[in-house]
Structure 1
Amino acid sequence: MIELKNIGKTYEDGFQALKDINLEFEDGKINVLIGPSGCGKTTTMKLLNRLVDYTSGDILLDGESIKQTNPIELRRKMGFVIQNIGLFPHMNIYNNVATVPKLLKWDKDKIHQRVMKLLDMVNLEPDTYMNRYPSELSGGQQQRIGVIRALAAEPGIILMDEPFSALDPISREQLQDELIRLQSEINKTIIFVTHDMDEAIKIADQIILMKDGSIVQQASPEEILKNPANDFVKGFIGANRLEERKALPPLATFIQKDFLSVSTGHSIDFIINQMVQEEINTIPVVNENDTYQGLVHLYELLGHKNKSLQNLLTDTDRFIHEKDSIDNVLNTLQEIQGTIPIIDSKNKMVGILDANKLFKAMTENKCGVA
């Protein structure tokens, strides 16, 4: 738990950057600090690892003042990802990722296993990438390395200072998706600074909107969109986003919780019979813990009965998170069709998207029907 109690920050020239900030960052969640330039969001984040010191109040980490901890030790407990990535150009990718574990004197085998696992987590084949240098990677690949380097020593807290803002729109969206997916696996406390409201709405569990060194509103994306605190919040969100939010209800409205799925323990013949009885040609597969594994298609099953179910799974990364904004869902629908599973933060399947209900709502709204 990170708590900021009556935090103030005044610089030597008299500028008051932060004014009586009281704030709790939610454990295991993505907490997004957002606001216009100069609002204090980056200063707030840098207080946490003492890159900047506060002038009044206190910051507690698990109930203890961070001023009781050596700043170097404190920083090693926190991952840090910055906008310009900051990879060491003279080190290969393996050594970049291994930097903090080496400083902490982990043994070589543990470091090796950790680096290999992290590269796999961000879909960078270890044998292909670990001996390359940063200059040999694309901007998006470099930023992935920046993220996993911050995760390498298994810190409980990750600080991310506008990490994707320098990337092209496609790479940025891919890395936002990657962060959401990674967080579902690692459940770290993430403090993420951005100036982009679309990014905040997409990735955040909690948004902290700041202005002139003060917190204006602190709430979930859904709550901020439904109930903006004042005209400043409305203006920062933007009229278009507010109109879209009024037009369509949240994703939860379109989750079909009464759905058919099969388990990895079922035989192919059993699955075929289920699909024939229900007159469906695609079905989601979960494991014994209800964790989503992928989809199987009837015609693939009929044509490859001799193969294992695992080899017939498709669309293993085709799903929507139950906390996704409706805007993100609409973007997903432009790219894929058919059955779309919906999962929770632990990758457990909670339902499928009722696309017909969503399309009906969209049509009624377009026609002006309440």
Structure 2
Amino acid sequence: MIELKKINKVYDDGFQALKDIDLTFEEGKINVLIGPSGCGKTTTMKLLNRLTEHTDGQILIDGKDIKEINPIELRRRMGYVIQSIGLFPHMTIYDNVATVPKLLKWEKQKIKQRVEELLNMVSLPPETYMKRYPSELSGGQQQRIGVIRALAAEPSTILMDEPFSALDPISREQLQDELVRLQKEIKKTIVFVTHDMDEAIKIADQIILMKDGHVVQKGSPQELLSNPANDFVKEFIGEERLGNNQSLPPLNKLIVKDYPSIPSTLSVEEAVNKMVSNHVAGLPVVDAEGAYLGVISLYKALDHKKASLVDLVDNTVMTVQETTDSNELLSKISGEKSIIPLLSEENKLIGVVDNKKLLEALHQIYKSKSGVA
């Protein structure tokens, strides 16, 4: 966890870039710093790896003051991705990605395995790309290398300073999708600077909106869209985005937590009986530890009574996590006819989305937008 307490930054010429900043960058989340030019977002990021020093206040990483950490050691513990990518043009892709592990004196075989693993992670086959040079790659491919180079030494924190802003719109969108996908695997603490509100809404777990060295508002994208703190926030977000915002209740208000489930040890006939007694056409199936396996359909079970229950489980049914934003659910739910299980980060079944409550919430949104009483 990274905490900023009463941080001020005053430059030698007397300009105060940051004013009494209190912030927590959420661990394992994408934290986006955003605001107009000169608001202090990049300065805030550079304080974290001591590329610039704060004037007063305290910055803690996992409870330790960063002024007690050697700046070189601190930077090696953090990945850093910048707009201009910064790949070394005279070095191969392999050597670029391996830069920090080599400085940390990792064994050669460990470095090779790590480079190959990272290249595969971003769909750049090692056998094709390891021996190439940056000039032989497209802009989007180079930025992918910039991202995995920052991940190479397995840092807990990644700093990203407008990393995609120089790319064309298609490459930029692809990299945003890639980052969101990657984060689900790596779960790093990411501090991401951008001036693009659409980018922030798309990728952020927490948005920190700044103006004139102050934090004006912080929260999830949905919190800012639903409850902008003042006129500046409304103006920065934009009327179009606010107008398109669909304010569903929080996901925990749309969940049935005591929904019945079927142990995987039951027979198909027992499963059918349970679904019939509960008047449902499908139920989640869990193992002995309560881990979610999938959904069993009444119709499929009736058609295959002699099969094993586990063989009939459908594990392709859409699920949502505890951390899923309820409005994000809308973008995924189109055409979904089955129940939608809610899972914990440990893949344990918590409950299911209550389709009736969801439908009622959507009706209320429609009425409010159309002026229907």
Instruction: Work out the percentage of aligned pairs sharing the same amino acid.
Output: 61
In 2, the alpha carbon distance for the partners of 1:95 and 1:270 equals 56
Describe the superposition over 1:5-42 as per-residue Cα deviations: whole angstroms up to 9, x where unpaired: 33222233332211222223233332221111210001
State the AA in 2 paired with 1:224. Answer: L
| Residues 17 and 257 of structure 1, relative CA distance in 2, 3 Å threshold | same
In 1, the alpha carbon distance for the partners of 2:355 and 2:345 equals 22
Match of 1:165 in 2: 165
In 2, the alpha carbon distance for the partners of 1:82 and 1:335 equals 40
Describe the superposition over 1:288-323 as per-residue Cα deviations: whole angstroms up to 9, x where unpaired: 776677789998xx99x99xx89x98759x654443
Question: Does 2:180 match 1:180?
Answer: yes
| Residues 274 and 139 of structure 1, relative CA distance in 2, 3 Å threshold | farther
Match of 1:221 in 2: 221
Question: Does 2:62 match 1:62?
Answer: yes
State the AA in 2 paired with 1:16. Answer: Q
Query: For the pair shown, which has the larger CA radius of gyration, 1 or 2?
Result: 2
| Residues 143 and 348 of structure 1, relative CA distance in 2, 3 Å threshold | farther
More displaced 10-residue stretch of structure 1: 64-73 or 145-154: 64-73
Aligned ranges for residues 77-226 of structure 1 at < 5 Å? Answer: 77-226=77-226
The alignment's C-alpha RMSD in Å is: 4.1
| Residue ranges of structure 1 left out of the alignment (5+ in a row) | none
State the AA in 1 paired with 2:13. Answer: D
Match of 1:43 in 2: 43
In 2, the alpha carbon distance for the partners of 1:195 and 1:102 equals 34
Q: Give 1:354 shift.
A: 5.2
In 2, the alpha carbon distance for the partners of 1:190 and 1:174 equals 18
Question: Does 2:327 match 1:330?
Answer: no
In 1, the alpha carbon distance for the partners of 2:349 and 2:81 equals 31
| Residues 364 and 165 of structure 1, relative CA distance in 2, 3 Å threshold | same
Describe the superposition over 1:119-156 as per-residue Cα deviations: whole angstroms up to 9, x where unpaired: 34334444444344444444444333322221111112
State the AA in 2 paired with 1:90. Answer: H
Q: Give 1:77 shift.
A: 0.8
State the AA in 2 paired with 1:143. Answer: Q
In 1, the alpha carbon distance for the partners of 2:295 and 2:272 equals 12
- 8 Å contact kept, 2:248–2:327: no
Q: Give 1:341 shift.
A: 5.4
DSSP 3-state at the match of 2:217: strand
Aligned ranges for residues 358-369 of structure 1 at < 5 Å? Answer: 358-359=358-359, 361-368=361-368
- 8 Å contact kept, 1:93–1:131: yes
Q: Give 1:328 shift.
A: 3.5
DSSP 3-state at the match of 2:210: strand
In 2, the alpha carbon distance for the partners of 1:296 and 1:340 equals 12
In 2, the alpha carbon distance for the partners of 1:288 and 1:95 equals 47
In 2, the alpha carbon distance for the partners of 1:163 and 1:345 equals 28
Describe the superposition over 1:233-278 as per-residue Cα deviations: whole angstroms up to 9, x where unpaired: 2322333444454643234444455667788xx69x9679858985
Aligned ranges for residues 191-270 of structure 1 at < 5 Å? Answer: 191-245=191-245, 247-255=247-255, 257=257
| Residues 227 and 363 of structure 1, relative CA distance in 2, 3 Å threshold | closer
| TM-score of the two chains, using structure 1 as the length reference | 0.77
More displaced 10-residue stretch of structure 1: 248-257 or 14-23: 248-257
